[in-house]
Amino acid sequence: MDGLLKNDGVLPLKKNIKIALIGPNANNLSVLLGNYNGTPINPVTPLDAFKNHLGEENVFYSPGCALAEGVFTDYKTIPAENFYHAENNELLPGLVGNYFNNTGLSGIPPLSRIDRNIDFYWERNPVNNLIDKPFSVQWKGFLIPSVTGTYKFEGNVSVVINNAPVEDGINLKAGEKYEFEASLIVSSFWWSSNYQQQFAELKWVNTSVDYHAEALEEAKKGDVIVFCGGISPNLEGEEMKIKLMVLSMVIALTLICLIPRS
């Protein structure tokens, strides 16, 4: 610890150095945003910054652990390669998206199309291109995971898999076809999550990953280890209650990051 505090030749980091970037906030966008935030045009996380400065080949990243018990920060948008729909007895890429100009997913949808995945920022109502008008969307098709594991979903849509609502983790097998349905409701109430910023996103994380082993493996590749921990809006906010994580992992990683590799 004295080595870092005294800065015995560690900082500034050399341009040709290899960095092992470890920690749940190393690529956590919410840390940059805070609460009641807008949407920045070009946000830069620590992972982005190190890659831009040193080159991707010199940066080795792992979240290392969850931010707290059950609170993960390494969610990724579900890729288009995992979504399919049936058409004329053939399985084709993408989901069938039905867009309604009401909040009840009812009636004949004015807009139906194939969406590659669920990752949109519309700014305006996608049905009629108006501002601050309610609408709803329903996506249907199949989800085919590439990796077996226990997955958690994050986003502002409701998810149903094999006719069962998904509210927590779900076990999925690689290559297996699951009936998939997601819905989005955008109401006109001021507290609606989409009222002022109309978007739709669906991300997932495989919580079966051995974060500890992965972090140690990435740490071996770096000349110096940088740890990004602390809290974030994922943990703090209005009336939020959380369980504190087991600190041994954080302490271990913190001690590692304070010792430059020789």
- 20-64: pLDDT as tens digits: 999 999 999 888 887 777 778 889 999 999 999 999 999 999 999
SS3 155: strand
C-beta atoms surrounding 115 within 10 Å = 19
Q: What is the pLDDT of residue 259?
A: 45
- Domain 76-206 listed as CATH 3.40.50.970: no
User: pLDDT exceeding 90 applies to what percent of the chain?
Assistant: 61
Distance, CA of 253 to CA of 230 (rounded, Å): 12
In the predicted structure, residue 253 carries a pLDDT above the cut 50: no
Which H, E and C letters describe the chain, residue by residue? CHHHHHCCCCCCCCCCCCEEEECCCCCCCHHHHCCCCCCCCCCCCHHHHHHHHHCHHHEEEECCCCCECCECCCCEECCHHHEEEEECCEEEECEEEEEECCCCCCCCCCEEEEECCCEEECCCCCCCCCCCCCEEEEEEEEECCCCCEEEEEEECCEEEECCEECCCCEEECCCCCEEEEEEEEECCCCCCCCCCCCEEEEEEEECCCCHHHHHHHHHCCCCEEEECCCCCCCCCCCCCCCCCCCHHHHHHHHHHHCCCCC
Domain 2-72+209-257 fold? Rossmann fold (3.40.50)
Residues whose CB falls within 8 Å of the CB of residue 158, separated by 6 or more in sequence, listed in order: 165, 182, 183, 184
User: Residue 232 — pLDDT band, cuts 50, 70, 90?
Assistant: confident
Contact 194, 123 (CB under 8 A): no
Q: For residue 154, what pLDDT is reported?
A: 95
Whether residue 13 contacts residue 224, with contact meaning beta carbons closer than 8 Å, is answered with: yes
User: Looking at the predicted structure, is the pLDDT value of residue 121 above 70?
Assistant: yes
The token duo for 166 is 């998904």
Q: Where in the chain is the domain with CATH 3.40.50.1700?
A: 2-72+209-257
Q: Which amino acid is residue 209, in one-letter code?
A: V
As a whole number, the mean pLDDT across the chain is: 86
Q: Is the pTM of this model over 0.85?
A: no
Burial 57-79 (b: 16+ CB within 10 A, else e): ebbbbbbbbbbbeeebbbbeebe
Q: 144 with 175: CB under 8 angstroms?
A: yes
155: β partners: 202
230: left (phi over 0), alpha (psi -120 to 50) or beta: left
d(CA 232, CA 53): 24
